Structures are given as C-alpha cells and as structure tokens.
A and B are shown apart, each in its own frame.
Chain A
Amino acid sequence: DIQMTQSPSTLSAFVGDRVTITCRASQSFSTWLAWYQQKPGKAPKLLIYKASSLESGVPSRFSGSGSGTEFTLTISSLQPDDFATYYCQQYKSYPGTFGQGTKVEIK
C-alpha cells in the first residue's frame, strides 16, 4: 500500500495567515491526490481533487499543488471557518490511503 505522511500534525495560526500543509507519499503516483476538511462531529468534505482542482463551491483561498510524492494544500488567508482537521488521500490505487491529518488551530 502507498503510505501518506502529513506535516505538521498540528498547526497554530492567526486569522489572515497563509497556511501550508504538506503530504508526502511513499511512492510516486502522478496527481491522484485529494484533500478533505473535517470539522468536529462532521463528515469529511472534499476540497481539492487531482492535486490542484478545486471542488465546486469551495472558496478560492484553498489551493493545491504538487505531483509525484510531494503535495501541498495552501490556505491563502485563514478564515474563522477554516479551523478544522485536513486530510490528504491518494487514490491511485486501492485502498485510497489517507494521511494522518493536520489539525489547524486558532493562535
């Protein structure tokens, strides 16, 4: 299985900050990568697919980049609604393995 490692595990930031989360894969798989946002007690929500494509309805302050084994999720200006846990997922092969998550907290 492809292993996914996110960093950092926790991130503290102010409203308005630019935030970057990294996801590294144990093997290369082009751009078959998604990012999800999850708030406490809620289901995950798809933000980004194909590494850099924004899901419909997702604010443009979210962006994704990368290919191969290193990927990033960037929030250009952190908003109060963005404090949540973010997961990457590779879907090049079954199972679609998830990273361990990055919790974005208010500083």
Chain B
Amino acid sequence: EVQLLESGGGLVQPGGSLRLSCAASGFTFSSYAMNWVRQAPGKGLEWVSGIYGSGNITYYADSVKGRFTISRDNPKNTLSLQMNSLRAEDTAVYYCAKTSGGSSGWYSCFDYWGQGTLVAVSS
C-alpha cells in the first residue's frame, strides 16, 4: 500500500525557514517523480515544485523560485522541501504527491497524496 507521510510544518515568522519532509513507502520510490502541492486556507490547489526520480532535474513555480529547494534521498525514501525567506502568502497546507508514471513525471498526474502538513507564516 502506497503511503506518503509529511512532517515539518509549523508556525514561522516572515523571513524564516522551514524544512518539510515526506516519508514514502509501498512503491519503488526512485522510479517516480515527486511533487509538492500547496493549498492556502479556503483556496485551490497550487503546484509548488517537482523532482525527477533520479533527483537530477527539478522544477519550481515562479512564486517560490529562488526561495524553495526540493530534494530527495532515494535510499531513505524521503522527499524534502527546504523553504527559506518565507512570506505570509506561503501559508498553506503542503502536500507531497506521487506522479502516476515515469521517473520524469512528464505526462503524469498525481495518483497518491499525503495527508498534508500546515505551514503558517506570521509574526
């Protein structure tokens, strides 16, 4: 059974940093691209970042480029998101999501999602 378990969320001041993690199990982690998707309170879904199965190619939304870094540790089946220079508008529930096919993630939707972790940016 595929399981994705996020952790690391919390309350942080504007300008601060936070590191999210997603522990994956139930599938061959290195064979699938992974993504972070966020949802601000009462709002829709926003893709944040994606990473190839190999970890060598990454993508970012313009809203987080230069501030967030996605990475993965395949031997440990863990996906991470390092978030720096946090802003109030980064407040959201952050989900990790597995792509449905292929290590690149291209032409793949998201077939499994974690339960989400809440990041609140406020002074």
A-to-B contact residues, CB < 8 Å: 32, 34, 36, 38, 42-46, 49, 55, 87, 89, 91-92, 94-101
18 extra interchain contacts, Cβ-Cβ under 8 A, other than A91-B109, A95-B59, A98-B45?
A32-B107, A34-B110, A36-B110, A38-B45, A43-B114, A44-B45, A44-B113, A46-B111, A46-B112, A87-B45, A89-B110, A91-B108, A94-B59, A95-B61, A96-B109, A97-B47, A98-B44, A100-B44
B-to-A contact residues, CB < 8 Å: 35, 44-47, 50, 59, 61, 95, 100, 105-116
- Chain B residue with minimal CB distance to A38? B45
Cα distance A87–B97 when bound, in Å?
15
- Judged by DSSP, the binding face of A is loop
Q: A92 to chain B: which residues have CB within 8 Å?
A: 107
Report the tally of A-B residue pairs with Cβ distances under 8 A. Answer: 56
Closest CB in chain B relative to A5 CB, distance in Å: 12
Q: B115 to chain A: which residues have CB within 8 Å?
A: 42-43
- Chain B residue with minimal CB distance to A30? B107
Cα distance A92–B35 when bound, in Å?
15
Contact, CB under 8 Å: B113 / A91: no
Q: A46 to chain B: which residues have CB within 8 Å?
A: 100, 109-112
- Chain A residue with minimal CB distance to B110? A46
Cα distance A72–B109 when bound, in Å?
17
Contact, CB under 8 Å: A95 / B47: yes
- 7 closest cross-chain pairs (CB), A and B: A34-B109, A43-B113, A95-B47, A98-B45, A101-B44, A91-B109, A100-B44
**Contacts A49-B100, A100-B44; A43 near B50 (Cβ below 8 A):** no
Cα distance A49–B35 when bound, in Å?
17
Contact, CB under 8 Å: A94 / B100: no
Q: A44 to chain B: which residues have CB within 8 Å?
A: 45, 95, 110, 113
- Chain B residue with minimal CB distance to A44? B113
18 contacts between A and B (CB under 8 A): A36-B45, A38-B45, A43-B95, A43-B114, A44-B45, A44-B95, A46-B100, A46-B109, A49-B109, A49-B111, A87-B44, A89-B45, A91-B108, A91-B109, A96-B35, A96-B47, A96-B109, A100-B44
